[in-house]
Amino acid sequence: MSFPPSKVTYKPLLHPAEHPAYRYSGFHPGRVTTLRKGHVKQPGYQAFPVDVTWEQDSAIPMRDGIKLYADIFRPTHGDKVPAIIPYSPYGKVDSGVQSYDMMGPYRMGIPFQRLSGYETFEGPNPAEWAERGYAVVDIDARGAGHSEGNIAFWGQQEAEDIYDSITWVSQQPWCNGSVVLAGNSWLSIAQTNFVSRFTHPALKAIAPWEGLSDPYMQQTCRGGIPNAFFNEMIVRGFGGLGNVEDVASMLREHPLYDEYWESKKIDTTKMSDIPAYFTASYSTGLHSEGSFEGFRAASTSKKWLRVHNSQEWHDLYAVAANDDLQRFFDFYAKGIQNGWEEDTPRVRLTLLGFEGSPAKSIIERAEEQWPPARLYTERYFLDAATKSLTSCRPQNSSRSVHEGHSLTDSSDFKLVFPEYTELCGQPFVKLFMSAPSHDDLDVVVQIRKLSASGDLLESLNWSPMPLPAPKVPNVNVAKHLGPQGMLRASHRVSIMPRSSEDDVPSYNHRSRQPISMGEIVELMVPVWPIGVVYEAGEGLLLRISGHDMSLPEIEALKPREPRDENRGQHIVHTGGEYDSYLVLPRIALGERGGFSIKDDFNTDDAQIIDLCDDVEEGIQSLLKREPVEPSNPFDIPIFITEAKASIKTEPESQSEPVSSPWKSGMQLVQFRATAEQVADDYLKENKIKLHSSRKRLSTIRDPNAYRRGQEDSSKLEIRRPVLD
């Protein structure tokens, strides 16, 4: 879907030569330079490992007659090579204002030696990729630098420009006819925006390394709450000869989701069968949801996802990451049979351990899909009386109050995990809330990890970090606090239908309806993806406030005062008729990361007792039911043994299996676990302490060995000795 350019609001750009922060080195169409092996742009940067030909400001014609300009870096010697296109408005070499020195502390851990100084911001290093046998074509997007036209935020026009660029690049005499797309952030979004609208015979693969798929819902107006501060900062860094789309003004003109925002949506369900290498992480407040969702929804059968544990720029230039990307590109752009499709897991999943926790991060564990197939959800009810999350709905109602227009106030609820736990997927929260002083309210929820002693933990975005976590600057590129979700209450009426209460809620944001002052309303708040491991005794904190609680992406975006439109107090209602709860996606584990139990686990099964009601009544009603065949997945014989069994002198026929009220073994497991929790709560409430003893293990570890043991034992002759 396209939106008429005549209806878009633009603002003028500063000429690159006049921009106070632009690193402008002039316009040099037709200039060709050979960067010899060993060339170093400035001390500390990577030396070129091979001779590279640098063609500056090469003109690329578009279908409407305008020209885009590109810098081409290609190996000087050797055969024809594939081309990598990083497409963005950030500026080619020696231009633009973004740099890793100014965008975060300690250069995000990127060594100077990993960069040559010739790469476009968030794009591949041309010196490195020339040695790997690729050309890099850095294109200034329409309107950027000396490229003609106006800068647009993605959409149909950008996709058409990329199509024409691929055509031109693939026809150059040094190109082998194969083109791939690569890059992070805007450069990633440009890739999925293109392949969701077009196919091109010369495009062999894409590598969208962290982006988004819906600018309104995932960045500019999450949960219906306007926030264009990041967009405005980005726009201030652009330089060009024309204008730039004024997203902040368009948000004011189009506060609800309409045809303008629809034209920006990147629908990866419409992708062709293009090979795609996605990356994602939990650390970015800009791209996490879009990266995971873009992969999940992508219709191509040739897609891979690598979830890493670092900051996206740090990962972009990591040696191992580039080695892996080369293997992917080599397979599709060069036809090298390196086993990529056979050997590479479809998903490599990372779960974060957090600093100061005994839980160790899980790094790129092989999975079949995201979210993992063996996920199940657990529901925890908010209890304002105890400021906790419990598995049973509180019988009595209570409430928690916090100031809505504040950068510090919140309502907090704690949960402790009694066993090792892995959370992965997308949580959500159901809240009953009211605002006595206003006809609307913004609610923001955040999930923080707690240590066993109750301390809030942080996850550092790369290692080694020069300082301990508390001393690392509080910006999101350096450290991660936990996933967030948000919703403006007036947008609750735009919720989309769900097939199950366990489905993550979503909104179309096409309508709004104010609330009445003091009215208690139900709010379903989706939270961005989580991936965290917990050791026994650790837990989480669900924090509810009226403001964005994530760290700013960079220091310049840190709010000095609340930016929301809240007024007065916000009240969270829990218990009784207000079943406020948190839904967590958990990975089903056997022996700490083993087999799946999902197929044998159904919380809706009628035979599972609701232990939050009367336990004795539930047990009695269960025992009165008709017996069912017991679950026996290993096909191991079940024997009845008597209390005074004697040794048999002759083999006897096998006893009939005992009838069981349990439909499956997993039902019994859940019953026992829930009963233990109820008992533990009772003992704790009444301050009763029991002596602990070592628990005997009765689990059959190896069913095959068990069967062999049964067969061998049947061959033994054990006879009662005859007494005189």
Q: State residue 98's pLDDT score.
A: 86
Q: State residue 724's pLDDT score.
A: 44
Give the pLDDT band of residue 378 (cuts 50, 70, 90): very high
Q: Do 299 and 429 fall within a single domain? A: no
Q: Do 126 and 236 fall within a single domain? A: yes
| Count of domains for the chain | 2
Contact in structure between 120 and 98 (CB atoms under 8 Å): no
The CA distance from 99 to 110, in Å, is 12
- For the stretch 85-96, pLDDT in tens is 999 999 998 788
Q: What is the mean pLDDT of residues 469-492?
A: 95
pLDDT at 300 over 50: yes
> CB neighbours of 503 closer than 8 A, spacing ≥ 6?
none
- For the stretch 168-193, pLDDT in tens is 999 999 999 999 999 999 999 999 99
Largest CA distance in the chain: 116
Residue 120's nearest CA partner among 91, 80, 154 is 91
62-66 CB contacts, 8 Å cutoff, 24+ apart: 62/142, 62/160, 62/161, 62/164, 63/160, 63/164, 66/142, 66/147, 66/148, 66/149
- For the stretch 103-158, pLDDT in tens is 899 999 999 999 999 999 999 999 999 999 999 999 999 999 999 999 999 999 99
- For the stretch 386-413, pLDDT in tens is 999 999 999 999 999 999 999 999 999 9
Quick one: tokens of 14? 């500063």
The CA distance from 430 to 524, in Å, is 5
- For the stretch 412-429, pLDDT in tens is 999 999 999 999 999 999
- For the stretch 643-675, pLDDT in tens is 333 333 333 344 444 455 544 444 454 555 556
| 626 inside domain | no
The residue whose two tokens read 């007065």 is 568
Lowest mean pLDDT of 46-60, 283-297, 406-420, 703-717, name the range.
Answer: 703-717
For strands 52-61 and 67-75, give the pairing: antiparallel
Q: What is the mean pLDDT of residues 637-642?
A: 33
Which residues, in sequence order, are bridge partners of residue 304? Answer: 277
Give the pLDDT band of residue 690 (cuts 50, 70, 90): low
Q: State residue 557's pLDDT score.
A: 84
The CATH number that applies at residue 443 is 2.60.120.260
User: What's the angle, vertex CA 701, arms to CA 700 and CA 704, rounded to 5?
Assistant: 85
Burial of 575 from C-beta contacts in 10 A (0-12 / 13-18 / 19+): buried
pTM of the model: 0.82
Q: Do 564 and 424 fall within a single domain? A: yes
Q: Which of 553, 587, 621 is the last residue of a domain?
A: 587
Q: Do 214 and 132 fall within a single domain? A: yes
Q: State residue 22's pLDDT score.
A: 85
Print the domain residue range for 121. Answer: 22-344
Contact in structure between 391 and 382 (CB atoms under 8 Å): no
Q: State residue 142's pLDDT score.
A: 98
Q: State residue 709's pLDDT score.
A: 66
CA 412 to chain centre: 24
The pLDDT mean for the chain works out to 87
Q: Which of 587, 606, 637 is the last residue of a domain?
A: 587
Share of the chain above pLDDT 70, in %: 81
Single-letter residue type at 602: N
Q: What is the mean pLDDT of residues 468-495?
A: 95
Q: Which of 324, 344, 364 is the last residue of a domain?
A: 344
- For residue 250, is it left (φ>0), alpha (ψ between -120 and 50) or beta? alpha
Q: State residue 90's pLDDT score.
A: 95
Q: What is the mean pLDDT of residues 368-394?
A: 96
Q: State residue 671's pLDDT score.
A: 56
Q: Do 267 and 413 fall within a single domain? A: no
The SS3 call for residue 615 is helix
- For the stretch 585-607, pLDDT in tens is 999 986 454 433 333 334 344 34
494-502 CB contacts, 8 Å cutoff, 24+ apart: 494/224, 494/257, 495/524, 502/377, 502/583
| Residue 226: DSSP 8-state | -
The CATH number that applies at residue 308 is 3.40.50.1820
The CA distance from 653 to 280, in Å, is 59
